[in-house]
Amino acid sequence: MDAVTLSGLRKPRPYPAVSVLMPTHRSARDGRQDRIRLRNLLAEVRRRLHDDPRVAPDAADHIVRGLERAADEVDPRHASDALVLFAAPHGEHHAFTIGQPVDERVVVDTGFATRDLVAAFTRMPRYWLLSLSDHRTRLWSGLGAELTEHARGGFPVEPEPIDEAGAGRQARRAAQGGEGEWRRQAMRDVVAALERVLARDRRPLIVAGVTRHQAVFDEVAGPHVTVAGRVDGSFEGASPSALIEAARPALAAYEDLREVGVLSELEAARSIQRYAGGLCEVTELVEEGRGEHLVVERGYYAPAVRTEDELIPVEGGPGVLKGADVVDDVVDHVIETALEYGGEVTFVSDGFLIDHDRIALVTRY
């Protein structure tokens, strides 16, 4: 899952676009319980589509077969906490496993229910780890407990040696200014490559390296590169597991500050009248394109009825209401709309927004 894929999944689809979300069991070896649960959910999809006068019987069958094909594409050996299946007309289908629980539900709408994918994408710690070295500076892509080397976009950066015969023109020119200038030139190459990566995929940046390397990095990078945390020491040749363990305290400190910062941001927005709280007010402003930063409790769902002028939230979980004017989850609608208008979305723990009626918004104006 990446930002490009997620953006494509959020686009509208012809009705009916069906989403099936199901908790799975890491510990169940044979997967029998999950297969039974999935079979029951697919039976619910079939029932709902056949009972819907807007859906032709053969179209309903095509959607169900698409969901079955999507389920078959998932590797049962891949341990996860949830299964997410999507299917839409014209044979479109997708399958994802995510490492966080979901509420079991079937959603039938004009788009996929992507909120749990957004939550996994947003809440799963995603970061870059830059390991500085005189010989080979490497960039690592962090996703939760996984760390993979980013070996493209100019990385790894290996400066030309300063003391070998036949060194390149750049190394010879830097050598005229001494080792310090050579190191600064090498670091300029690192920063240039890093800025290209961050322009495409901005994440928190953890910088690992000895003090002198970090000092040169700060000097060359200037204010354009924000460092979320630091790890002191030499990690040249270190394994991904060793790097993750070393970076863990810096990442934890960053996450703690981020959550505190969310509440501070909401209070500051309230003081300058750029704040909204509660689903009705937030929905209206987001649909006007005024959402700059949406903050949502992870377990907050609400169906709604669409009138000519507005969405009216009602009590109950997704799927409890039937009819052409029903939106299974208006919270998902708000999240997707905020993202479509270029807003930021942050998920927080349930109860975190108790003073904000479970959902809050910083507005653009």
What is the SS3 string spanning 196-231?
HHHHHCCCCEEEEECHHHHHHHHHHHHHHCCCCEEE
- Residues 6 or more apart in contact with residue 223 via CB below 8 angstroms: none
Q: Where do the structural domains in the chain lie, given as residue ranges?
A: 1-123, 127-258, 273-364
The proportion of the chain whose per-residue pLDDT surpasses 90, expressed as a percent, equals 55
pLDDT value at residue 167? 53
Domain 273-364 has CATH 3.30.1330.30: yes
- At 141-188, the pLDDT tens digits run 998 778 999 999 899 999 877 654 545 555 555 555 567 888 899 999
Length of the chain: 365
pLDDT band at 277 (very low <50, low <70, confident <90, very high): very high
Q: Could you give the maximum distance between any two Cα atoms of the chain, in Å?
A: 80
How many angstroms from the chain centroid is the CA of residue 284? 24
Burial grade of 238 (CB within 10 A; 0-12, 13-18, 19 or more): middle
Class of domain 1-123: alpha beta
* CATH fold group of domain 127-258: Nucleotidyltransferase; domain 5 (3.30.420)
Distances (CA, A) of 149 to 13, 91, 115, 131, 234: 36, 35, 28, 10, 17
Closest by Cα among 99, 191, 97, 100 to 137: 191
- At 228-239, the pLDDT tens digits run 999 999 999 899
- At 22-34, the pLDDT tens digits run 999 866 555 788 8
Task: Report how far residue 19's alpha carbon sits from residue 111's, in angstroms, rounded to the nearest whole number.
Answer: 9
Which region, left, alpha or beta, applies to residue 153 given φ > 0 means left and ψ of -120 to 50 means alpha?
left
